[in-house]
Amino acid sequence: MSEIYSIAVVGLGNEFRGDDAVGLYIARRLKDKQMPGVRVIEGVSDGTTLIENWQDTRGAVLIDCVSSGDQVGKIHRFDALTEDIPEEIFPAYSTHAFNITDAVRLAATIGQLPPHLIVYGVEGATFSTGAKMSDRVITAANRVLELVLKDIENFR
């Protein structure tokens, strides 16, 4: 029998571009915990695939790196069902073929939002090809992991 997932966590990013790997880093740490009922996805290629990943779930968490000019390592958290996600935090240009803001808007338009949808953005600074994640972003990533675990418990 295949496992039924009630919660989806999607870590976005590019593991070869420094701090942009933060979503993948967090997803991998969460995957290591092997939590029943939690599907962890590392990276998504487009907005419609992102929406498909949270279908039939109680809730979803999206995690990505951002570069809005704020302090490196700052954690931005949005409840996408009650708050607008600022375009200046998740801009139209990205290392993905889509942006989170557009995917959430599309899902709302077609009635495909999950009952809970939390979006995290971690401010990065280093995006050069081949760079490693900065210490401040790793510290923030570990804090986001704790917050995501709390979100998961709240969704149950």
CATH classification at residue 56: 3.40.50.1450
What pLDDT shows up at residue 1? Answer: 35
> Is 2 inside any structural domain?
no
* Range(s) of the domain holding residue 64: 7-155
Residue-by-residue pLDDT tens, the chain, 156 positions: 345 568 999 999 888 999 999 999 999 999 999 899 999 999 876 677 878 888 888 899 999 999 888 999 999 999 999 998 887 787 554 544 567 888 888 888 888 889 999 999 999 998 889 889 999 999 999 999 999 999 999 887
Instruction: Report if residue 11 sits inside a domain.
Output: yes
Q: Which helix (H) or strand (E) holds 8?
A: strand 7-11
Its pTM surpasses 0.85: yes
